[in-house]
Structure 1
Amino acid sequence: MTALTAATTRLYLSTTLEEGQLQQDHTEADMIVKWLPLEDAVRSVEDGTISEAGSALGILLAARSLAP
């Protein structure tokens, strides 16, 4: 299936985040927020559990960037 979009996605890698109060707007009302170890997140991308393109790309790039 071919897909094309004009949307722009910006990805940032932060290594100093702390869990805080969740503040979702109406466009995020159905999103599931879950903290995972990076290795678990990579496995979730690989097995299709995480399938949203921006999230999958961010997780895989973070794993590559943080690899020893």
Structure 2
Amino acid sequence: MIDNTLLILSRGKKGLSIRQLSKESGVGASTISKIENKKSTGSLLVASKLAKALDLEIDKLFILEGREEMK
């Protein structure tokens, strides 16, 4: 499951609107909006495209149980 909060923060940090991120990632704006609003979890392919557009490692976009333990 893609972490919607991390997606929103990462997009904001890069100064991108949903439409701009859509254009850069090739992921539909409606899909990005659904993920950010917790109406979709997003697929691995979507996460890969978003991570690349946001200059993130793909695992940074996922909600991982025990994330705190991994630090």
TM-score > 0.5 by shorter chain: no
Computing the radius of gyration from Cα coordinates, the structure with the larger value is 1
Relative contact order: is structure 1 or structure 2 higher (C-alpha 8 Å, sep ≥ 6)? 2
Q: TM-score, normalised by structure 1?
A: 0.28
Q: Which one has the bigger helix percentage? A: 2
Q: TM-score, normalised by structure 2?
A: 0.28
